[in-house]
Amino acid sequence: MLGSVRSLRTLAAVLLLLVPAGVVTVAAPAGAAPPAAPASRAEVLAPTPPMGFNDWNAFGCEVDEELIRETADTMVAAGLAAAGYSYVNIDDCWSAKERGADGRLVPDPVKFPHGIQALADYVHGKGLKLGIYGDAGTLTCAGYPGSLGHEDLDARTWAGWGIDYLKYDNCNNQSDGSQADYIRRYTAMRQALDRAGRPIVYSICEWGSSRPWEWARGVGDLWRTTGDISDNWASLRSIIAQNAPLYPYAGPGHWNDPDMLEIGNGGMTATEYRTHLSTWAMMAAPLIIGTDLRNASAETLAILGNREVIAIDQDPLGVQAEVVSDRDGLMVLDKPLAGGDRAIALYNATDHLATVGVPAGDTGLDPAGAYRLRDVWTGAVTEAAGTIEAAVPAHGTVVYRVRALRHHEHVAPAVTVAAALPTVVPGADSAAALTTTVTNRGSGPVRQVAVTAAAPAGWVVTPAGATRRPRLGTDQNLTTRWTVRAPDDVTAGEYPVRVTARYAWGRGATTTTSSTVVATVVTAPAPGRRALSSVVPYSTANGLGPVERDQSNGAAGIGDGNLLTIGGRYYNRGLGTAAPGELVYYLGGTCTRLVTDVGVDDEAPAAPATFTVHGDDTAVATSGPLAAGAAPVTLTADLTGVRWLRLTTTGTAGAHTDWADPVLSCGAAGPDDPVLPLRQTVFSFESGTDGFTVANPGTGGTVTQSTAFHTDGAAGLRVETPVPGNWFGAPVPASLDLTGRSGLAFDLRTEDVGTVGEIAVQVGDALTWCQAGRWAWTNPHASRTITEPFADIECPSGVTLDVARIRVVWVFLNTGGVVHIDHVRAE
């Protein structure tokens, strides 16, 4: 099975209504294995970060003994066991829904017909170890029996079966949310494991909620530091940003756990998956494979099996890399290794090729005349005098194993090939400027340096300066400007331009180094009225972090804003910028009008700020200075004949400046044409609660119409759940056909608690449940849009998601408390 069936846990309550009642239960196997000698608490069970496999990321609840056995077989056969992966871990959904008559947890008799103990014997027979999953609450996340109040019996049961690793989750925890309560619940299992007498690695999984790095050393061998990972770049980037700064807390037997690996699951590029393993290794994170190993590609196995990267993760010193620098999406990590080497990672979280580097003196490297850099992904060896640097592709990471260069070593100088290329507009009069810089970071000179740039067929790349240099000494560079012309008929998109430096070094050896810069081509917008946030800008400059699409400008990161909010009014479309800022769009003379609301966002009310719309070199509409908290102002700009549209904000630096609901009209579009991309409202809550009900009514959830939050019309829905987790939804109006739409979305605003937003649907006459595989966390007192492409909504096998036959739409809210939702729609 490809893809992931994630967060089925959330469906559990509902599934209870659908799964046939009376699940068969069997007694726990008698004659458990003799307990090993009591574990000494001084014993370090995880002197290096645990390595292994867990089924959750790839299989969700679809776990059984065959999968575990076959995975163990594959781990041995594919060489992963030899590379260090030793734990085979079963996640949620392994047990029956009820405890046995003796109170013990019972393996699901269908999924594990031979029981867990037999499986442990099998896995042990392969030289591997078996892990299991439990929960410090009344039910696991997927609704199976939890261990709260049953710690001793469950620990004894697991020890008796021969379990070697316990992942202990945090759902349905009955907690008051205090750190003391977390310590109590997780220590109870620690003590139970000690009493059970078998050495079992104890993996605390409370998602970083109670800052476990502050208290869990000595309780668990590792602790999750973040919410669940998903198989996409935004998730990976966000988890790295959260876990990297926690380096002071990690060490042998007490590891930060940024969650299991997604490598191989298909939602990221090979570059991103290499970043995944690279950063996990630098962060001394557990390496728990989360893909279907039985069907893994050679590329996946090669990434997971990279011995040099694994050696960095498993280094016996057991130190998590220090964050040496982290600016503008470029991070340098520095990890000491046994024997004196250091691993230095250059991580580029931006969307462009970027040069990432660090003076050797800013790292823990001892001063030396030169350093030997071994790239652990390519195997290339170079030498650097004083700057450890590389041109790193977007979302990529270069990891060097570094030590002082020995005198007799003949190693090529490290040469950085950097390139920057602004967005390209097709056509003869619109040549873009490519800048390339070849820098010699080696201790010896490079000679006969020549740089070339290769673009796709039909493009013309012409140097506007020197492309050769007889000699570059240490830290000298050759900077060249080029013009790049895309063919007139090129379609908008991304195109590679490969820049290569060729040079001689030492006694006549010749080497090349290349980088690929991606050219983004923009063309004039097609006719119609469209949300400006759906048009790719030619360029952006922003006072604070990146410009956000359809949300406000949170801070430094991408996607960290809220819904745009001006003077108490919420918008789900627009551009979140920060002063001083400039957005430039290429219109090519084809558009007529821009209408937009503007104002200072309520979330960070620095003010005043002024908004101006420029058509070519003329200001065509301006707001004048706007105060914090002021109502939105509507600007209307005539853009007839304008080639370049510029939107600027000036005023207090860092003011969160919102272009709310900007609509651009091009071609013959009239004011009554629908705004693209089209949206189809499913529930707007204007005339009431639109039939919304609570999926699990026993828990006392309520829904009421409310004007406290709305992103369309004048009202939304207020939802209250006394207990964590419930689905809210309603039958789709019969007249509604969602054919032609690509996904579902809704807007939400939290009050005192944060929540997880998700979407599920019921399809066809059988009302089959299909659920989204991803979920998005929203902090307390925050707002956002939850979107779910239909392609990411998974149905049970044999059922296809026919969007013409969606009968019921549900939204999920994970925590107890009050949450507002509005504008449930298809897009």
The alpha carbon of 728 is separated from its chain's Cα centroid by a whole number of angstroms, namely 26
Burial status of residue 117 (CB atoms within 10 A of its CB: 0-12, 13-18, 19 or more): buried
For ligand GLA, which is the closer residue by CB, 91 or 313? 91
Which residue lies nearer to ligand GLA by CB, 9 or 741?
Answer: 9
The amino acid occupying position 185 is R
SS3 at position 282: helix
- Residue 278-297 contact track with ligand GLA, rule CB under 6 A, x = bound: --------------------
The Cα–Cα gap between 410 and 427 comes to 48
CB atoms < 10 A from the CB of 161, how many? Answer: 23
For 646, the token pair is 């510029």
Reduce the DSSP state of residue 422 to 3 states and report it. coil
Q: Is 351 a catalytic residue?
A: no
Smaller CB separation from ligand GLA, 164 or 169 = 169
The smaller minimum CB distance to ligand GLA, of residues 205 and 461, is found at 205
Closest distance of CB 177 from ligand GLA, Å: 17
* Neighbour tally for 292: CB within 10 Å: 23
CA 357 vs. chain centroid, Å, equals: 24
CA gap 375, 343 in Å, rounded: 10
Identity of the residue, 286 or 554, whose beta carbon is nearer to ligand GLA in the bound complex: 286
Q: Least distance in Å: CB of 726 to ligand GLA?
A: 16
141 binds ligand GLA (CB under 6 A): yes
Which of 64, 65, 91, 603 binds ligand GLA (CB under 6 A)? It is 91
Instruction: Pick the closest to residue 533 from 637, 633, 663, 672 (CA basis).
Output: 663
Interacting residue with ligand GLA among 55, 64, 65, 92 (CB under 6 A): 92
For 369, residues 6+ apart whose C-beta sits below 8 A from its C-beta are 385, 404, 405, 443
Answer for which of 13, 14, 46, 56 binds ligand GLA (CB under 6 A) is 56
Number of residues that bind ligand GLA (CB under 6 A): 10
Quick one: 186 or 207, whose CB is closer to ligand GLA?
207
Among 228, 292, 560, 602, contact with ligand GLA (rule: CB under 6 A): 228
Tokens encoding 687:
């005339």
Please report where in the chains the tokens 């003011």 appear, as a residue: 655
CA 148 from chain center: how many Å?
31
CB 380 within 8 A of CB 312: no
Question: Quick check: helix, strand or coil at residue 125?
Answer: helix
Choose between 131 and 253: whose C-beta lies nearer to ligand GLA.
Answer: 131
Q: Which residues contact 123 (CB under 8 A, 6 or more apart)?
A: 68, 69, 72, 88, 129, 130
User: Shortest distance, CB of residue 172 to ligand GLA, whole angstroms?
Assistant: 11
Cβ proximity to ligand GLA: between 260 and 600 the closer is: 260
* Cβ closest to ligand GLA, residue 657 vs residue 815: 815
**Burial class, 752, CB count within 10 angstroms (exposed 0-12 / middle 13-18 / buried 19+):** exposed
- Crossing angle (nearest 10°) for helices 151-161 and 115-125: 50
Q: Out of 55, 108, 169, 221, pick the active-site residue.
A: 169
Among 9, 401, 530, 718, binds ligand GLA (CB under 6 A): 9
Minimum distance of ligand GLA from residue 33's CB (angstroms): 25
Q: Which of 64, 91, 135, 228 is catalytic?
A: 228
Q: How far is the CB of 261 from ligand GLA (least distance, A)?
A: 12
Nearest approach in angstroms of CB 190 to ligand GLA is: 19
Site track for ligand GLA across 95-134, x = CB under 6 A: ----------------------------------------
Rg (alpha carbons) of the chain, rounded to whole number: 29
d(CA 346, CA 614): 39
Q: Which residue is nearest to ligand GLA (CB)?
A: 141
Active site residue 690: no
Using the minimum distance from each CB to ligand GLA, give the nearer residue, 762 or 814.
814
- Site for ligand GLA contains 204 (CB under 6 A): no
As measured in angstroms, the least distance from the Cβ of 169 to ligand GLA is 5
SS (H, E, C) 531-596: EHHHCCCCEEECCCCCCEECCCCCCCCCCCCCCEEECCEEECCEEEEECCEEEEEECCCCEEEEEE
Least spacing, CB of residue 774 vs ligand GLA, in Å: 12
Binding residues for ligand GLA restricted to 166-185, rule: CB under 6 A:
169
User: Cα separation of 780 and 782, whole Å?
Assistant: 5
257 or 601: whose CB is closer to ligand GLA? 257
Which is nearer to ligand GLA, 205 or 331 (by Cβ)?
205
- Closer CB to ligand GLA, 318 or 725, in the complex: 725
Pick the binder of ligand GLA from 136, 142, 148, 451 (CB under 6 A): 142
- Compute the least distance from the CB of residue 167 to ligand GLA, in Å: 6
3-state helix, strand, coil in the chain (%, to 5): 15, 40, 45
Cα angle 515, 521, 526; round to 5? 165
Minimum Å gap between C-beta 170 and ligand GLA is 7
Residue from 28, 46, 96, 205 in contact with ligand GLA (CB under 6 A)? 205
Minimum CB–partner distance for residue 9 and ligand GLA (Å): 4
Task: In whole angstroms, give the CA distance from residue 645 to residue 614.
Answer: 6
Q: Cβ(240)–Cβ(258) under 8 Å? A: yes
How far is the C-alpha of 581 from the C-alpha of 437, rounded, in Å?
27
Contacts of 579 (CB under 8 A, 6+ apart): 543, 609, 649, 650, 651, 652, 653, 654, 655, 657
Q: How far is the CB of 229 from ligand GLA (least distance, A)?
A: 8
Phi, psi of 120 (to 5 degrees): -60, -40
Give every CB contact of residue 565 below 8 A, 6+ residues apart in sequence.
552, 571, 601, 602, 603, 658, 783
In the complex, what is the shortest distance from the CB of residue 87 to ligand GLA, in angstroms, rounded to a whole number? 15
Structure letter (DSSP) for residue 681: E
Which residues of this protein are in contact with ligand GLA, per CB under 6 A? 9, 56, 91-92, 141-142, 169, 205, 207, 228
The set of catalytic residues is: 169, 228
